[in-house]
Structure 1
Amino acid sequence: MDFAFMQEAFLRLISGVPLTLNLAFTSIAFGAIFAMLLALMRMSNLKVFDWPAQAYVFVFRGTPLLVQIFLIYYGLGQFRPTLDALGLWGFFREPYWCAVLALTMNTAAYGSEIIRGGLQSVPHHQVEAARACGMSGFLLFRRITFPIAVRQALPAYGSEVILMVKATSLASVITMMEVTGLAAKMISQTFRAIEVFIVAGAIYLVLNFLITRIIMAIEWWLSPHLRRPPAIEPRLEAAHV
């Protein structure tokens, strides 16, 4: 192992981290909104909403993300005249927006099932208790159902966030110079794949470690009932007795 070269590779690859995080968190933010809409459509008990949502989830969970990226970036280019007429070609000719769109649509499909599971796991007696207190409709959803569902779904959604950070590596196939794109470029120049990919993997590992810590902190903050009570000091306990 050439550690001097690995240090050089690290300095070059670390410049791709901002784009990696930008792709990940932009797609997660938009995907979470879309996922919530899909989850509510699935739980509406109306076929006109439920069936399209089921079809969407089936398609985007059942096909590879790489194929979805290719279809959006390369496939839609065949319809340039139509997209030009609709004023959309400026969006679809940019690899960044195509990557964000593909990642968003993919994570929305997975996220919708996570959110739906969280909403369905809300204890029925808590909903009934809120209704007995006079809550209903959106107030019940905002004050009772949604906070409990978020707490229930957060561990699984945290895994989805980590998967999306790693999935940004696929954006390199459409010329995006994030961490993996810079790694591929450096390998083509130096032909030293092992060192470069070890450094790239280490960068992703550190990023996901930090994200895991943040998610755990949020989960701890949202679950005060699971925190251990502070230990009573012996002197205070003796004085109390």
Structure 2
Amino acid sequence: MTDVFVSSSAPDTGTRRRIGPAGIVFASVWAIVAVGIVLYILRNWNPDLFSRYGLPYLEGLWVTVTLVLASFACGAVVSLPVALARMADTRFVRVPAFVFVYFFRGSPLIAQIFLVYYGFGEFRAFFETIGLWWFFREAWFCALFSLALNSAAYQAEILRGAIESVPKGQWEGGRSLGLSRTVIFFKVVLPQAMIVALRPYANEIILMIKASAIVAIITVYDLFGITRQAYSRTFDIQTYVWAAVLYLVLVEVLRRLTNLAEARLTRHLKR
């Protein structure tokens, strides 16, 4: 009976994937770009500019990281009930979840941020009555609210697809052991689904990191907000090069952490 929850589709670890011509060309192009960026920075290095804006850049980077992580975490909490509602048999439950996902995935993120930041201000009296105006009067919280809902829509679809990819036999095996649906879902199905969803989740965070630059428009001094401020005062294009490098570092760190997490979670499939 212990074999019920073991996946039968273990990857073939005996073969190595070879890099084709397209992969070599792609890697070569990125290597040339990286060398060009490094040479540009070394050639146009401005110590005064670095000493003036180095610390603000790090502060902006911290704002970006905290905003993205907080938004992703809040979106993950919202995405679970939305994903379950999307798979519900009852149309009354399924349709509102579909509308939520359709709206936030189908409309531009910048429009959603403006709707929250500027639109909710029209209902200030209402939010003051219920004690929430302190939240929606701050640009950072408006950005957090908008990014969290947008991410929740994407995460809900990722989670729904991952859950539906788990074989039905896992449910049947759990019921044969006398487990409740709740225990089967959280102890058997969801852990397997999270392994499938790991890569899409990482892609979602990467997209959020790049999309978070939009919040600079509503006066959130994240990494891109500090970059705009630095350029408006110096008119030095190097300020944008620094921002691009820091964004690339963030993405690369996330990629490597994803590889480590995937290797850790799937180590039982490589035995």
- TM-score surpassing 0.5? yes
Amino acid at match of 2:184: L
Task: Tell me which moved more, 7-16 or 27-36.
Answer: 7-16
> Identity rate of aligned residues, in percent?
37
Is contact 1:13–1:183 with CA below 8 Å preserved after alignment?
yes
Who is 1:152 aligned against?
196
Who is 1:3 aligned against?
45
Who is 1:234 aligned against?
none
TM-align CA RMSD: 1.5
Task: Output the CA distance in 2 between the equivalents of 1:10 and 1:121.
Answer: 46
> Following superposition of structure 1 onto structure 2, how do residues 123-142 of structure 1 map, counting pairs within 5 Å?
123-142=167-186
1:136 Cα deviation from its structure 2 partner: 2.6
2:144 is aligned with 1:105: no
2:265 is aligned with 1:222: yes
Is contact 1:14–1:203 with CA below 8 Å preserved after alignment?
no
Which of 66, 77, 83 is the aligned partner of 1:22? 66
2:102 is aligned with 1:77: no
Q: After superposition, what is the alpha-carbon deviation per residue over 1:108-134, rounded to whole angstroms, capped at 9, x for unaligned?
A: 000000000000000122222222222
Who is 1:61 aligned against?
105
Which of 226, 230, 243 is the aligned partner of 1:182? 226
TM-score between the two structures when normalised by the length of structure 1: 0.89
Who is 2:87 aligned against?
43
SS in 2 for 1:3: coil
Amino acid at match of 2:231: I
Task: Output the CA distance in 2 between the equivalents of 1:11 and 1:76.
Answer: 33
1:160 Cα deviation from its structure 2 partner: 0.3
Note the residue ranges of structure 2 that are not aligned, 5 or more in a row. 1-42
Who is 1:201 aligned against?
244
- Size of the aligned set, in residue pairs, is 227
Amino acid at match of 2:265: L
Which of 178, 195, 212 is the aligned partner of 2:255? 212
Task: Output the CA distance in 2 between the equivalents of 1:93 and 1:190.
Answer: 31
Who is 1:172 aligned against?
216
Amino acid at match of 1:223: T
1:141 Cα deviation from its structure 2 partner: 0.8
Who is 2:10 aligned against?
none
Is contact 1:17–1:179 with CA below 8 Å preserved after alignment?
yes
